[in-house]
Amino acid sequence: MADFVQNLDPSKLVLGGTALSFLLSPFAAPPYNLPIFLFGIYAQENTEGVQSLQTFTALLGISHFFDVLWMMNNEQQGFVKFMTVVLLLLKIPVFFAFGLTLRQRGAQFSGLGIRGGDLSGATVWSGAMPGGLGNGYQSLDEESVDARPAPKVGANPPPGPPPTGPFQV
């Protein structure tokens, strides 16, 4: 599946989705698809901006569910319904292609806490210095490996007699 997604061209997919949603716009079809795909063209062309790409990918994924709800609540003629289903199915590879583009740009879905395939959660650097100091990353949920127990009361030996000699004050 990863090889299939890597071979997809996001610019052609979003352009095809824009053209199809434009052709469906005068008929009884979801009205939000054309603005989403137009925004997708902008997000795909803007190579420095990661936030617009994240927003488009999230909107595309959410609109997939809204399309299903819209089709259940509204009547369509045969050919228009077929083309709406084609647009709905086109959104799946577009979503995966833009998700891969996000991953290649080093972006994340910050609301979900997913950082480029890292699903283990937040970590804290706890050492792993050159020379064997520390033990590397540690999850925030774990107890500290370097935590030392508090000294017991009464475990310290009593202080010895004061030193004698010419240095006393």
Give 10-59 pLDDT, tens digit per residue: 888 888 989 999 998 888 888 889 998 898 888 888 877 788 888 888 98
Residue 80's nearest CA partner among 38, 37, 30 is: 30
Q: Which residue blocks in the chain are alpha helix, DSSP H? A: 2-6, 10-24, 33-45, 51-73, 78-104
Do 76 and 8 reside in the same domain of the chain? yes
Within a domain: 157: no
Q: Assess whether pLDDT exceeds 60 at residue 62.
A: yes
Domain holding 120, by residue range, is 111-141
Do 13 and 77 reside in the same domain of the chain? yes
Domain count, the chain: 2
For residues 74-86, average pLDDT: 90
Q: Assess whether pLDDT exceeds 50 at residue 115.
A: no
